[in-house]
Amino acid sequence: MPRSSSYQAAPRTPALGDGFFEVATPAKFPALTLRVRNQPWAERLGLGTLSDEEWLAHFARFAPLPDNLPAPLALGYHGHQFGQYNPALGDGRGFLYAQLRDPVDGRLLDLGTKGSGTTRWSRGHDGRLTLKGGVREVLATEMLEALGVYTSKSFSLVETHEQLQRSDEPSPTRSSVLVRLSHSHVRFGSFQRLAYQKDSARLRQLVEFSIENYYPSLAGADDPIYALFRAVCHRAATLAASWMASGFVHGVLNTDNMNITGESFDYGPYRFLPRYDLKFTAAYFDSSGLYAYGRQPEAVVWNLLRFAEALSSLCPMDQLRLALIDWEARYLRAFHLAFLERLGVTSRDPVHDSLLVSRALCFLQECELGFDRLFFDWYGGLPSEARALAGTAGPLYRGARWDGVRALLGEHAPAHAERLSDAYFARTQPTSLIIDELEALWAPIAARDDWSLFYAKLDEIRALARLYGRAPA
pLDDT of the residue at 472:
82
For 84-105, give one letter per residue: b (16+ CB within 10 A) or e.
eebeebbbbbbbbbbbbbbeee
For residue 371, is it within any domain?
A: no
Residue/partner pairs of 363-368 with CB below 8 Å, 24 or more apart: 363/401, 363/402, 363/404, 363/405, 364/275, 364/276, 365/276, 366/401, 367/396, 367/401, 368/275, 368/396
Whether residues 175 and 224 share a domain: the answer is no
Q: Which of 268, 303, 334 is the last residue of a domain?
A: 334
For residue 53, is it within any domain?
A: yes
Q: What is the pLDDT of residues 187-232, one digit of tens each?
A: 999 999 999 999 999 999 999 999 999 999 999 999 999 999 999 9
Whether residues 33 and 164 share a domain: the answer is yes
Q: Which of 256, 286, 372, 377 is catalytic?
A: 256
Average pLDDT over residues 385-408: 96
Q: Which of 334, 369, 402 is the last residue of a domain?
A: 334
Whether residues 250 and 126 share a domain: the answer is no
For residue 275, is it within any domain?
A: yes
Q: What is the pLDDT of residues 29-59, one digit of tens each?
A: 999 999 999 999 999 999 999 999 999 999 9
**349 a catalytic residue:** no
Q: What amino acid is encoded at 31 in this protein?
A: A
- Quote the CA–CA distance of 334 and 356 in Å, as a whole number: 14
C-alpha count within 13 angstroms, C-beta hemisphere, residue 8: 13
Q: What is the pLDDT of residues 337-353, one digit of tens each?
A: 999 999 999 999 999 99
For residue 84, is it within any domain?
A: yes
Torsion of the alpha carbons at 413, 417, 422 and 425, rounded to the nearest 10: 20
For residue 362, is it within any domain?
A: no
Tell me which residue range forms the domain holding 199: 189-334
Whether residues 229 and 172 share a domain: the answer is no
Q: Which of 308, 334, 360 is the last residue of a domain?
A: 334
Whether residues 195 and 132 share a domain: the answer is no
Whether residues 196 and 149 share a domain: the answer is no
Domains identified in the chain, total number: 2
pTM comes to: 0.96
Rounded to 10°, the helix 188-196/200-214 angle is 160
pLDDT of the residue at 1:
66
- Quote the CA–CA distance of 138 and 36 in Å, as a whole number: 8
Beta bridge partners of 159: 33, 176
- Quote the CA–CA distance of 226 and 312 in Å, as a whole number: 10
For residue 132, pLDDT over 70 is answered with yes
pLDDT of the residue at 3:
67
For residue 30, is it within any domain?
A: yes
For residue 218, is it within any domain?
A: yes
For residue 215, is it within any domain?
A: yes
Chain Cα centroid distance, residue 322: 27
Rounded to 10°, the helix 224-246/200-214 angle is 60
Whether residues 240 and 103 share a domain: the answer is no
Whether residues 176 and 252 share a domain: the answer is no
Whether residues 176 and 197 share a domain: the answer is no
Whether residues 165 and 303 share a domain: the answer is no
Whether residues 176 and 196 share a domain: the answer is no
- Quote the CA–CA distance of 79 and 91 in Å, as a whole number: 12
**Other C-beta atoms lying within 10 Å of the C-beta of residue 318:** 8
Whether residues 181 and 294 share a domain: the answer is no
Q: Sorting pLDDT into bands at 50, 70 and 90, what band is 426?
A: very high
